[in-house]
Structure 1
Amino acid sequence: MILDIYKDAFEYSAKDWKTLIILGILCLFSFLLIPAFLITGYNYRVINQAVHGVINGKDPLPDFDDLISMFVDGVKVVIVEIVYLILPAIIFLIFVVIAGQLTGALSSALLVIGCLITFIAGILACLMAQMGLCHMTYHDGLLGKAFALSELKKVIDEIGWFECIITYIGLIIISLVLSFAVTAIIGIIFTVFGISGSILGVDAGGIFLLGALVNSAITMFIVGPYLSIINARSIGLLYSMQI
């Protein structure tokens, strides 16, 4: 099931490169906040389509229309994510404060334990946030449904906690591996160009700078949006796998 979800998400996310470019442009101006909310609003539409669909690889990407509605949905998404991340943040701060009152190895050990517990709590919080978003979209965008913990527990029980956690961790690994692979390939290409340029007497610094700019552009305009859609589609399909 998990591999089928990933396969569908990979195919689905690559169907319209213009959409990836649009998301990339919005990402470029996300410091203005409104574009950032439009991005999360678009991901909301991807999730909404997935939770009401099935694994088939045939669904088209949602359209960019009704931007006001998309913006409102994006704000709701951000609210849900922030609320769920409050607990891991509080846990980390507690350990930092306590460790600050200690010294030496005991302080360091407590920080390590705190970081480990925070990491585990963060993974669970992110998973709950994603499933909460799915539950919210399934119930016509009712914000309260994102925090209906008893209902979310029932949903995850039906899907399987192991399947949910493994799917989410798998998405994290996919994101890291794909991002690293793209960066590595671009780095190798421009390293070869740089070395060749040095041999020919060309300034290699400019070539390496160009490589860094190309890497940033591809990451922002293609890889980043592609991964965000994969994540939204995968979590939505996972939610739809309830018994």
Structure 2
Amino acid sequence: MILDIYKDAFEYSAKNLVTLFVLGIFCLFSFLLIPIFLITGYNYRVINTAVHGVINGKDPLPDFDDLISMFIDGLKVVIVQIPYLLVPFVIFVIFGIISGQLTGILSNAIMIIGCLITLAAIIAACLMSQMGICHMAYNDGSFSKAFALSEIKEVIDEIGWSQCIATYLGLIIITLVISFVVTLIIAIIFAIFGVSGAALGADAGGIFGLGLVINSLVSMFIVGPYLSIFNSRSVGLLYTMQI
């Protein structure tokens, strides 16, 4: 089932290159902050489509209409994520304070235990926040449903914690691998061009610089938007496994 989710998300995310380009433009101007909420809002629309759809369905990519609504949805998602992610941060701070009051091996041991617990808390918090966002989308955008912890836990219980964690960790691995491979391929291509150009008397530094620019543009306008849709679609479809 997990592989079916990935397969669907891979195909779904590549349905429209124009959509990737538009998200890339938002990313380019993300320093203005507002585009960040628009990107997040669009990903929420992807999740909303997924939680009301089926795996390997014919769901279309959401439109870029009603930007005010998209901005508000993005703002809601960010607000939902903050309390969840604060939990592992607080846990880490507490262990840091305790460790700071001790010395030697005991201090190091407490800090190591704290880091391990924090890591587990981060995974749980990320999973709960993502399922909370999906639960909010499934319940017509009801903000309170994103924090209905007992209902969200029931959703995860129904899907299976191991299934959820495996899917989530798989998304992290896929994201890292795709980003690394694309970057590496472009780097190798321009490294070959640079070495060949240098042998012919061309400016190798300029070629390498162009490679860096191309790599950045590909990441911003293709890889980044593609992976954001891929992850949102996958999480949304994971939610549907309990329906």
Match of 1:117 in 2: 117
In the aligned structure 1, how far is the partner of 2:220 from the partner of 2:111?
A: 34
Structure 1 residues 57, 214: closer, same or farther in 2, change over 3 A? farther
AA matched with 2:132: G
Match of 1:185 in 2: 185
AA matched with 1:209: G
- 1:240 equivalent in alignment to 2:240: yes
In the aligned structure 2, how far is the partner of 1:105 from the partner of 1:185?
A: 45
Specify every segment of 5 or more residues in structure 2 that has no aligned partner in the other structure, as ranges. none
After the TM superposition, which residues 141-220 of structure 1 pair with which residues of structure 2 at under 5 Å, given as runs? 141-220=141-220
Match of 1:223 in 2: 223
TM-score (norm 2): 0.96
Match of 1:18 in 2: 18
By how many angstroms is 1:119 displaced? 1.5
- Contact preservation (8 Å) 1:127, 1:165: yes
Match of 1:40 in 2: 40
TM-score (norm 1): 0.96
In the aligned structure 1, how far is the partner of 2:185 from the partner of 2:2?
A: 28
- Contact preservation (8 Å) 1:155, 1:239: yes
What secondary structure does 1:55 align onto?
Answer: coil
Match of 2:127 in 1: 127
In the aligned structure 2, how far is the partner of 1:118 from the partner of 1:185?
A: 35
Structure 1 residues 209, 167: closer, same or farther in 2, change over 3 A? same
By how many angstroms is 1:98 displaced? 2.5
Structure 1 residues 206, 100: closer, same or farther in 2, change over 3 A? farther
Q: Deviations over 1:111-161 (max 9, x none)?
A: 333222212111110011100000000111111100101001111111111
Structure 1 residues 73, 201: closer, same or farther in 2, change over 3 A? same
What secondary structure does 2:116 align onto?
Answer: helix
Q: Deviations over 1:171-217 (max 9, x none)?
A: 00100000010111011111111111221222222222211111111
AA matched with 1:238: L
- Contact preservation (8 Å) 1:99, 1:110: yes
